[in-house]
Structure 1
Amino acid sequence: MSNTWDVIIIGGGPAGSTAATTLRKKGSSVLVLEKARFPRFHIGESLLPYNRAIFDELGMWPRIQAAGFMVKRGAQFWMGNGSMHTRLDFSKGSFTEFPESIQVERAKFDNILLRYAEELGAEVREEAVVNEYSIERDHVTVKYRDKDGAEHEVRAAFLMDASGLGNFTANRENLREYYPGHKKLAIFGHYSGVQMPEGNEKGDILVVRRENSWFWMIPLEDDKTSVGLVLDQADFKALKMEPQQVFDDAVLSTRTVGERMINAKVISQGHVLTDFSYTNRKLVSRRLVRVGDASGFIDPVFSSGVMLAMTSGMNGAKVVHAAVAAGRSMTFAMKRYEWTTRRHVGRFWQFIEKFYTKHFAQLFFQPTNKHRILCAINCALAGRTQMTFGTWWRLRLFFTFVWLQKRYRIAKPIRIQ
C-alpha cells in the first residue's frame, strides 16, 4: 500500500470527491481520507441548475441522469400563513442557461460522486479519521486512524481540506469567523405523506418564511420529503425544549407547513445541525487548499451548498494540480482561487443577509420583471458563476430598491408569517 501521493484530500463529500475526480482526470495521484462509510445520511438535498455544468465537465451527467433523481424546475417561496407566495421558474430566466436541476437524497448522490472518483483511480479509504497534519518545506504529512484503530502516516505534495463543517485544518489554525447575527440551528427529518406541488410544479422546493425563522420542504421521491426548520440558536435556547418539540410546535403554528403535513408519517426525524454561516480568514496557504464547507458555510435558504462545494472542489483541484506540476508550494492561481471563491459566495450572501429582513421580503414576495430584474435574480439564484454586466447592474438595481424600501416603503407593506 502506497503512502506517498500528489494530493491528499480530507473528506469524500461533494467537494472532496469533485476535487479527486478533477485531479485524476488531470493525472495526479490522489488519496481520499473519509471518516464515514458511504453511503451515509447527510442534509443539503436541493441542487441548483448550474450544477449541470460541473457534471458535464466531470463527465458524469449520464450517471446522475440514470440515478432517477427528482427533477427540480423551480423554487417556491411562501409566507407561513399562506397569504402570498412567489415562484422562480428556472426555465423563464432570460440570463439562465440551464432550465432545471435535481433534488437528491444525499446518501445516494454522494456515494455516486465518490465511487466515480474511485473508478478513475483515486484511492479512497473510508472510516479513516484524520488526527494530525503538518506542512513541511517540500511535503505534507497526515496521520489518521483506520476502523480497526491502527495508526497510519501518509505524505503528499499537497493537502486539500474538504472536511465539511468539521473544518479540520482551519479550526486548528483558529481561522473560523462567524457572520454576525447568523448563528443558526436546523432541525430536520424525512417524511412520507407530505402534500407537495404536482403537475408542472412537481419537484419544486418550498421555502416557507416565518417571522424569525423558515422551513424547507424538499421532495426527494414521490412519497418522501425532507422537511427542516432553521432558526436562531438564541431563539432555540430561549424555548427550553427538545429539538423535535420545537419542530413540531413550529409545524402546528405555520399554516403553510401544517396543512401540507396533516397526513405526514415519520421516516426519520430529530436531526440537528448547528454552526451556520461562517468563513475562514484564509482558504489557501503553503501546500494547503480548503474547499467546500471547509472554506466556509452559509445559510442554506437558497440551496447553494452543493453547488458552492462542487465549484470550489473543482476550481481548487485545478490550481493544486498546476502547483504540483510546477513544483511550487504557493502560486498566484491559488490566491486567485481564494478571491473568486469568496466572490461566488458573496453573490448568495447578499440575498441571505437580507432574507430575514421585512423590507427585503416585501419586494421579494411581490416581484416585478421590469428591466428584467427578476431574470437577473433567477440567474444569480440558479448558481451562475460568471455574471455578465447586464445581470450585475440589474442585481445592483434590485438591492437599491431593497435599500429604498427600508426607508420609503416603495412597495406594498406585507405581514410576515
Structure 2
Amino acid sequence: MSKTWDVIIIGGGPAGSTAATTLRQAGRSVLVLEKAKFPRFHIGESLLPYNRAVFDELGVWPKIEAAGFMMKRGAQFWMGDGSIHTRLNFSRGSFTEFPEAIQVERAKFDDLLLRHAEELGAEVREEAIVTEHRVEKDRVTVKFRAKDGSEQEVQGAFLMDASGLGNFTANRENLREYYPGHKKIAIFGHYSGVQMPEGGEKGDILIIRRENSWFWMIPLEDDKTSVGLVLDQADFKALKQEPQQVFDDAVLSAKAVHDRMINAKVITQGHVLTDFSYTNRKLVSERLVRVGDASGFIDPIFSSGVMLAMTSGRRGAQVVHQALVAGKALTFAMKRYEWTTRRHVSRFWQFIEKFYTKHFAQLFFQPSNKFRMVCAINCALAGRTEMTFGTWWRLRLFFTLVWIQKRFPLAKPIRIR
C-alpha cells in the first residue's frame, strides 16, 4: 500500500524548501516534487535584511554564513545618465532591526535550502514533472512524470503549490490576473570585469532608472556581476530586435551602466524572463495553499521576491500544520494567511507602482529625512513585514507628498531619460 503524505509540495525553490523545512520542524511527513535537477540557474539574486529572521527560524543561517555569499549593506538608485543617485543604507535606518543582507547566486543558494529540508527528513524527488492534481474530500492526489519517464501518483492530506512562475494549480483553475500596465520582460546575464562600488559600499545592488525601463547590477562575487534590463513587453516588441541586441543598445544609451561595463566580459547572457506582476484570485482553498511566486509575482525592482517567497512559504506551512492538527480541510487561519500575504505584497507594490512615475522619482532620488521618513522607507524596503504605527504614518506622509508633487512641485525638477 502506497504511503499517504501529510503534505505534498510542488516546487523546491525558496518557498517550497522553506515550507518543507517548517513542516519537518513540526514533525510532518513531506514530499517535495521538483521539476529541475538542482543546482540550476535562476534569477532573483538580491535578498533583503529581513530574510535573516526567516533563516534563523529555519535553522539554516550557519550554512548560509559558511557558504560565503556577498554581503549587501545598501541599495543604490541611479538615474540612467549618472546625473543623480541616492543610497539606502540598511545599517542606518532607525526602524530597521537587521543591518545587512546577502547577494546570492541562486543555483548555490536554492540548492542549500533544499538540501537543508532534505537533511531534516523531507523526501525530495527531482526531475519530477507534475501533470495533474485532484482535491478530494479527504485527500489530494498528484500525478507526475518521474525522472525515469514513468507516470506516478501520490496522495497526501494537503497540497502546497510552490511551483513559481509556472503557477501550476492556479493556471489550471484560471486564477491568474495581471496588474494593468505591468507586463514586463527581463533580459539578463552574468559578467566579469564590471566596475562595482568598493569600500563601505561593496556589495550594494545598483538600480539604474531610465525613462521607461531600468537596469539591475548585482555583485555575486568579487568578479561576477548579474546585470539585467527590465522593460515593457510592448516596448520590446516595438523594437523588433533580438533580446540581446535590445540589452546591448540599452547599455550603450545608459551612461551609469555603460561606464561600469566598459571592460565587462560575458560569463553567460541572453536569458529572458516574461510575465511579470500578476496575482491569483485565490491563494487558499480546501486542502490547498499557494506560496511564493505561485501566490503572485511582482516587479523585482526592490528585490522583494525571495523575501516574500520564504515568508509566505513559512507562514503557509504553519497554517497547513494547524489545519492538520484540527483535522480540517479549510480554516480561518488559512484565510488569514491569504489576507496577510496580500498585505505584505501591497506594501512593496505601492513603491513599485509609483517608481515608474516622474513625480515619485523627484522625491525618491532627492530624499529628505525630515520626520525620519527615509528611515521608514528604509524599513519597508528592507522587508519588514509588520509595520509599527510610527513607520506606518511616516510612509503615509511620504506617499501624500508624492501625490502633492504630481500637482504642486515640492522638489526641484530632475531629468529622466
Normalising by structure 1, what TM-score?
1.00
User: What is the alpha-carbon distance in structure 2 between the residues aligned to residue 391 and residue 90 of structure 1?
Assistant: 15
Amino acid at match of 1:324: L
| Aligned residue identity for 1:155 | Q
Deviation at 1:341, TM superposition (A): 0.2
**How far apart, in 1, do the equivalents of 2:293 and 2:349 lie?**
14
1:78/1:208 contact within 8 Å kept: yes
Q: CA deviation at 1:14?
A: 0.1
1:131 corresponding residue in structure 2: 131
Q: Distance in 2 between matches of 1:2 and 1:250?
A: 55
Once residues 41 and 133 of structure 1 are traced to their aligned partners in structure 2, the CA distance between those partners, rounded to angstroms, is: 27
- Residue 367 (str. 1) matches residue 350 (str. 2): no
Q: Which position in structure 2 is the counterpart of 1:59?
A: 59
1:300-347, Cα deviation, whole Å (9 max, x unpaired) = 000000000000000000000111121100000000000000000000
Secondary structure at 1:115's aligned position in 2?
Answer: helix
Aligned match of 2:298: 298
3-state SS of paired residue (1:45): coil
Identity %: 84
How far, CA to CA, are the matches of 1:326 and 1:363 in structure 2? 50
Report what 2:163 is aligned to.
163
Q: Measure the CA separation in 2 of the matches of 1:126 and 1:350.
A: 37
1:387 maps to what in 2?
A: 387
The reply on whether 1:81 has 2:74 as its aligned counterpart is no
Report how far residue 247 of structure 1 moved.
0.2
- Give the 5 Å matches for 1:9-408: 9-408=9-408
Q: 1:416 maps to which residue?
A: 416
Give the Cα–Cα distance (whole angstroms) in 1 for the partners of residues 129 and 46 of structure 2.
28
User: How far did 1:2 drift?
Assistant: 5.0
Q: Secondary structure at the match of 2:71?
A: strand
CA distance in 1, matches of 2:60, 2:122: 15
Q: Would you say the 8 A contact 1:3–1:153 is kept in 2? A: no
Question: 5+ residue gaps in structure 1?
Answer: none
Whether the 8 Å contact between 1:71 and 1:100 is mirrored in structure 2 is yes
Aligned equivalents of 2:118, 2:25: Cα separation in 1: 12
State the match for 1:4 in structure 2: 4
- Report the residue type matching 1:261 in the other structure: M
Q: 1-side partners of 2:82 and 2:329: how far apart?
A: 55
Taking the aligned partners of 1:175 and 1:366, their CA distance within structure 2 comes to: 40
SS in structure 2 opposite 1:111? Answer: helix
Give the partner amino acid of 2:254.
T
Over residues 217-266 of structure 1, what are the superposed CA-to-partner deviations in whole Å (9 max), with x where a residue is unaligned? Answer: 00000000000000000000000000000000000010000000000000
Query: In the TM superposition, what is the alpha-carbon distance from 1:78 to its structure 2 partner?
Result: 0.2
Structure 2 counterpart of 1:315, which letter? R
CA RMSD across the alignment: 0.7
Whole-Å Cα distance in 2 between the matches of residues 60 and 82 of structure 1?
39
After superposition, the C-alpha distances for 1:363-392 in whole angstroms (9 at most, x for unaligned) are 000000000000000000000011000000
Deviations 1:147-189 (A, max 9, x none): 2210100000000000000000000000000000000000000
Moved over 3 A (4+): none
Q: Distance in 2 between matches of 1:143 and 1:325?
A: 26
Give distance in 2, aligned partners of 1:226 and 1:160. Answer: 31
Q: Deviation of residue 3 (structure 1)?
A: 3.6
Partner Cα separation in structure 1 for residue 29 and residue 387 of structure 2: 34
Name the SS of the counterpart of 1:200 in structure 2. helix
Q: Quick one: distance in 2 between partners of 1:146 and 1:252? A: 46
Q: Counterparts of 2:242 and 2:230 in 1: how far apart (Å)?
A: 15
Q: Secondary structure at the match of 1:378?
A: helix
> Structure 1 counterpart of 2:96, which letter?
T
CA distance in 1, matches of 2:39, 2:3: 25
Contact 1:5–1:31 at 8 Å: present in 2 too? yes
TM-score if structure 2 supplies the norm length?
1.00
Q: Unpaired segments of 5 or more residues in structure 2?
A: none
The amino acid of 1:358's aligned partner reads K
